Amino acid sequence: ATNTQPQYHDLLHCLCSQEDAICNLIYTAQNSTAYASVLQFSNNNASSSSSRTKPIAIVTPTTIPQVQSTVLCSRKHGLHLRVRSGGHDFEGASYASLSSPFLLLDLVNLRNVTVDVPSKSAWAQSGAVLAEVYHSIASASRTLAFPAGLCPTVGLGGHISGGGYGTTLRKFGMAADNIRDALLVDADGRVLDRAAMGEGVFWAIRGGGGNTYGIVVSWKLKLVRVPLRLSAFTVSRTASSDAEMTKLVDRYQRVTDKLPDDLMILVMIGAVDQGNSTKQVMYLGGKERLLRVMNESFPELGLKEEDCKEMSWIESVLHFANYPSNSTYDVLLKSRTDSPISFAKLKAKSDYVGTPLPESALQGIWSRVHQVEAGAALLHLIPHGGMMSRISDSSTPYPYRAGTVYKIQYYVAWSGEQKEVEERHLGWIRKLHEFLTPFVSKNPRGAYANSRDLDLGMNDPTGETSYEQARVWGEQYFKHNFERLARVKAAIDPSNFFRNEQSVPPLSM
């Protein structure tokens, strides 16, 4: 810490001399008792973050000019900067670093959301979490929605920067597909809207990774029309044997991407005593039609009328976020401090499936799921098809469009700090990933940018990573779009001021 002292004092001086008010919004590791609680406030306990460098100070701006000052001061004094919105990065990249000391710019105070019903749009600041965005939309209209993630405490800033999928993915695409405009603070401290940043940068910030092109302070969301009543519910099927489970999931993977766009069946597989599977169903319509569609396309699930629940879109948000069924949607405003989803230590990986997995792969998954204690392993199958297959694979940086049947998200969770316990769980998920190699997308193997996985590769902590080195993990997230991202990066941030373990390095020429 000693050689960071002068840098850090100069930085504080620089920030305070710009504007008095910002002095009260700085929390230093050495001098502030609130530092630990501010750092912990938006934080998902990513497994790898505990052993990494914490910020030397946290700045929590309340205005866009304060964001600009923070960028300019940290650049002037050569201090690395990271931005955090909801802090849900799976590797903690927003608040923990493998490289040099850094300043954390926390957008927790920039979370205003303004909905304009006639134009079906909303300006939402990046520090808002999804719960706050959904609450504002539902307060303004009962038939407008925004197609983004299921977890209420995910921050808008990181979520859109990496894509963002939720229960209406097959009908409306991803969050990043539904953005009309944005305000970006670049490395020169300028505030750029879509026209000023240009279409290349506007393309890159919608899914091309966070902390790379600048700081997006707010997004203009395109809201989508949803029916007053839709069907949203969870059906649990506990298979009596692995063979029965294989049969059910095999049928699922043959139909899921071909169902009507209005229907999304998200499968969650976890260990009870035997492998169990839970299907979360979202249908943008009433239950009579849903039952007809399901009985025609997926009778094996045996869906019955009593399984189906009709509700409004905002009630479906509460349902999928596990709030008790009698909750009113005002609970969303307390999601940051009182969320029904709590976090143990967590590691995630992702894969894309273009051809249904053979029985041997499914059996192999179940046997591995039985190897960890109940509740520790969870697999989500997220169907694509529908609108996702009609959006071109270079329309945004997210390349998994036509030809993707579903995405697998796999998670492992554990409690406590014991090294042996951590190693065992990390080993489990890495082995499962290795086992699936022959069965999932290849050349390159796919991965979801918002499911950050540092096992795929990392930038050099010095910031000197070459484009060729970064291709290893970059093309897994972005495929052919990676090169365009690196060229955009060279145009907007040639000095690589905004960077982290997996930011896209600049490619000039």
Binding site for ligand FDA (CB under 6 A): 44, 82-90, 93-94, 107, 126, 149-151, 154-155, 157-159, 161-166, 210-211, 215-216, 450, 500
**Closer residue to ligand FDA in complex, CB, 107/357:** 107
Phi then psi for residue 398, to 5 deg, are -75, 115
Do residues 503 and 81 lie in contact, with contact meaning Cβ atoms separated by under 8 Å?
Answer: no
Question: Which burial class, exposed, middle or buried, applies to 459 when counting CB atoms under 10 A from its CB (0-12, 13-18, 19+)?
Answer: buried
**Closer residue to ligand FDA in complex, CB, 126/404:** 126
**Closer residue to ligand FDA in complex, CB, 82/479:** 82
**Closer residue to ligand FDA in complex, CB, 48/246:** 48
Contacts of 156 (CB under 8 A, 6+ apart): 85, 86, 124, 125, 126, 127, 128, 129, 130, 133, 148, 219
Give whole-number Cα distances, 255 to 252, 359, 474, 507, in Å.
Answer: 5, 16, 31, 41
Please, what is the minimum distance in Å from the beta carbon of residue 320 to ligand FDA? 9
Please, what is the minimum distance in Å from the beta carbon of residue 493 to ligand FDA? 11
CB atoms inside a 10 Å sphere around CB 268: 17
**Closer residue to ligand FDA in complex, CB, 294/332:** 332
CA–CA separation, 414 and 432 (whole Å): 17
CA–CA separation, 60 and 497 (whole Å): 20
- What residues form DSSP beta bridges with 83? 105
Contacts of 287 (CB under 8 A, 6+ apart): 231, 305, 308, 309, 310
Please, what is the minimum distance in Å from the beta carbon of residue 177 to ligand FDA? 12
Please, what is the minimum distance in Å from the beta carbon of residue 91 to ligand FDA? 9
**Closer residue to ligand FDA in complex, CB, 165/233:** 165
Helix, strand, coil percentages (3-state) for the chain, rounded to 5, are: 40, 20, 40
Phi then psi for residue 295, to 5 deg, are -70, -30
Please, what is the minimum distance in Å from the beta carbon of residue 95 to ligand FDA? 7
Please, what is the minimum distance in Å from the beta carbon of residue 247 to ligand FDA? 28
**Closer residue to ligand FDA in complex, CB, 149/385:** 149
Do residues 481 and 163 lie in contact, with contact meaning Cβ atoms separated by under 8 Å?
Answer: no
Please, what is the minimum distance in Å from the beta carbon of residue 212 to ligand FDA? 7
Please, what is the minimum distance in Å from the beta carbon of residue 233 to ligand FDA? 17
**Closer residue to ligand FDA in complex, CB, 336/484:** 336
Tell me the one-letter amino acid at 235.
Answer: V
